[in-house]
Amino acid sequence: MKTYQKILYLALVAAVIVFVFALFQKRAVAPESDLDLGKKVDVKKTDENKATTTPVVEQKPVQKVPPIISGTLDAKGATTDGINKTIAGNSLFAFNLYGKISEKEKGNIFISPWSISSAVSILYEGAKGKTAEEIKNTFHFDSDAVAMRSSFASLMNKINAKGAPYALNTANAFWVQKDFKILNDYISNVAKYYGGLASNLDFVGDTEGSRQIINDWVAKGTNNKIKDLFAKGTLNRNNRLVITNTVYFKGTWLSPFKKTNTKEDSFLADSKNSTAVQMMNDYAGHYNYSETDNAQILELPYKGDTLSMFVLLPKEGKMSALESELSSDNMKKWFSAMAYKTVNVSIPKFTFSRSYGLNDYLKDMGVVSAFDSASADLSGIDGGKDLSVSYVIHKTFVEVNEEGTEAAGATGISVGVTGIRLPEDIITFKADHPFIFLINDKQNGNILFMGKVVDPTK
């Protein structure tokens, strides 16, 4: 056994979106006072499309966490082609980021590509020139602004749709220094297409209190699975805008594992080391299954049969080869080749959290000028060129057990001023060594979560 046994990929794709919608007419209000946000901001239009912000409460920031409000976003301009482009772009970004992280991280990996793309899409709304071009190319956003906005709105509406037999929601918000002026168009577009709830905070006078308010909102949006998105010191007096996204998913398996079949077993982390794990087992179960030269692929559907976890288990010595093949085209090919088989399934139970500072990863992928105070152009936010990205943080949580899966992701961007046919044979699918898994929408292929499991006990 070689390198692949040192690398276990847990690719979990789940999408969680809860949306916030604000109304903008002659006077845009961000946020509404009846939403219990503590205070509101009056936005008055000018000929230059600038906004004058007048906090109702000037001495204190918002004292309560803004509610996470579900609402229908403006997706009237969405087309099938535009939505497919957005999904393909998110998938391509997912595989590219996964590859960058796997080069440095030798342990478990878990990311929510959708959460990151959603937060960055709000930043992109305010980017211009080279900064916008770099973001667009890295995240593979549609060059047609109307198509991109409407596609994101459509996908978020689908994710936040009510009545599903699982919990899935996502939310966006942006937090503005109380005396900082924001362009009307920016406020309107973020609310209309991304559900971004605006709220005033006082980063200058009460940085720590502002940090705690944001973290409380994130905790609420992730069912308290992510409690400290911004650690102490990650925000400061120079912050003028913070963008946040949360995504949360909890679903039960369409066919839960029997707890009586869970046994202690060995998991081969590498050729020399194994660890004892609680292995879930299903004997002679009926599963959607396929094989490639390098991997076994198994679908574990959730109740409702709309979302699924796909487990990619590399064959002996084939982890590196499998990772090199990860792409949207190959996923479509592999998944379309799946057929129902009788399979003896063994999957370890696992729970872990991960935290990633994304600055260096994004720079390596092509987003450079946004972090450079001398060249960043975020003038679509406030009309000036004094803003640049200070910090991008991404945190995740995942738990897989006999009942199903719970997963959460959150992304924060701080912006500051300078500064069923049964086969005859039974197949064995035993995930007793590192593997990749994804949670995605079976209907459109949108990747919500992606990960790698190297050690289920960590």
Q: Considering all CA atoms of the chain, what is the largest pairwise distance in Å, rounded to the nearest integer? A: 74
Q: List pLDDT tens digits, range 326-352.
A: 998 999 999 999 999 999 999 999 999
Q: Is the dihedral of CA 144, 145, 148, 150 positive or negative?
A: negative
3 pLDDT above the threshold of 50:
no
Per-residue model confidence (pLDDT) at position 442: 80
Number of domains in the chain: 2
pLDDT, residue 15, reads: 33
Q: Is residue 205 part of a domain?
A: yes
Reply yes or no on whether the pLDDT at 50 is more than 50: no
Domain with residue 335: its CATH number is 2.30.39.10
CA distances from 266 to 175, 259, 273 (A): 47, 18, 10
Same domain, 364 and 443: no
Q: What value does the mean pLDDT take over residues 157-180?
A: 93
Assess whether 443 and 430 both reside in one domain: yes
pLDDT in tens, 215-245: 999 999 999 999 999 999 899 999 999 999 9
Task: Tell me which residue of 242, 314, 249 sits closest to 446, measured CA to CA.
Answer: 249
**Domain annotation covers residue 23:** no
| Burial (0-12, 13-18, 19+ Cβ within 10 Å), 344 | middle
Decide if 21 is inside a domain: no
pLDDT band for position 4 (50/70/90)? very low
DSSP 152: H
Q: pLDDT (tens digit, 9 = 90+) per residue, 344-373?
A: 999 999 999 999 999 999 999 999 999 999
SS3 108: coil
Residue 253 — φ and ψ, nearest 5°? Answer: -60, 145
Is 275 part of any domain? yes
Report the candidate in 175, 162, 163 with the shortest Cα–Cα distance to residue 241: 175
- What is residue 140's DSSP assignment? T
Higher pLDDT, 6 or 219: 219
* Helix ranges, 328-367 (H): 328-336, 359-365
At 113 the pLDDT is 96
Residues 6+ positions from 330 with CB-CB distance below 8 Å: none
Distances (CA, A) of 42 to 28, 46, 52, 139, 200: 7, 13, 7, 33, 11
Where residue 57 falls among pLDDT bands split at 50, 70, 90?
Answer: very low
For residues 221 and 90, membership in a common domain is answered with yes
pLDDT at 42: 37
Between CA 86 and CA 93 the distance in angstroms is: 11
Q: What are the DSSP calls for 224-285, one per residue? A: TS---SS-TTSS-TTEEEEEEEEEEEEEEBSSPPPGGG-EEEEEESSSS-EEEEEEEEEEEE
Among candidate residues 291, 292, 432, 412, the one with its CA nearest the CA of residue 356: 412
Kindly state whether residues 345 and 356 are assigned to the same domain: no
Same domain? For 407 and 428 the reply is no
Give me the percent of the chain exceeding a pLDDT of 90.
71
Q: In what order do the strands lie in the sheet with 51-55?
A: 28-29, 41-45, 51-55
Has residue 24 been placed in a domain?
A: no
What's the rounded Cα separation, in Å, for the pair 354 and 10?
Answer: 12
One domain, residues 199 and 101: yes
Residue 170 identity (one-letter amino acid): T
147-166 in b/e form (b: 16+ CB < 10 A) is: bbbbbbbbbbbbbbeeebeb
Q: With 0-12 CB in 10 A as exposed, 13-18 as middle and 19+ as buried, what is 26?
A: exposed
* Residues paired with 269 in a beta bridge: none
Q: Does residue 43 form part of some domain?
A: no
Co-location of 293 and 407 in the same domain: no
pLDDT value for 430: 80
Provide the CATH number for the domain around residue 212.
Answer: 3.30.497.10
Instruction: Say if residues 435 and 318 touch (Cβ distance below 8 Å).
Output: no
- Mean pLDDT (the chain) is 84
Q: Which residues pair with 396 in a beta bridge?
A: 354, 409
Q: What is the structure's pLDDT at 34?
A: 29
Query: Is residue 66 included in any domain, yes or no?
Result: no
CA distance 282 to 402: 10
Question: In terms of domains, do 340 and 358 share one?
Answer: no
Pair (319, 404) in one structural domain? no
Lowest mean pLDDT among 15-24, 239-248, 297-306: 15-24
Domain hosting residue 264, numbered range:
3-11+253-349+421-453
Residues 260 and 388 both lie in one domain = no
Same domain? 318 vs 245: no
Using DSSP's 3-state secondary structure scheme, residue 82 falls into helix
pLDDT in tens, 76-126: 999 999 999 999 999 999 999 999 999 998 889 999 999 999 999 999 999
Stretch (H or E) spanning 210: helix 207-221
Nearest 5 degrees, angle CA 329-CA 165-CA 447?
20
As a whole number, mean pLDDT of residues 430-456 equals 85
Phi and psi at residue 240, to the nearest 5°: -120, -20
Residue 67 has pLDDT above 70, yes or no: no
In a domain, 25, yes or no: no
> 199 and 175 share a domain?
yes
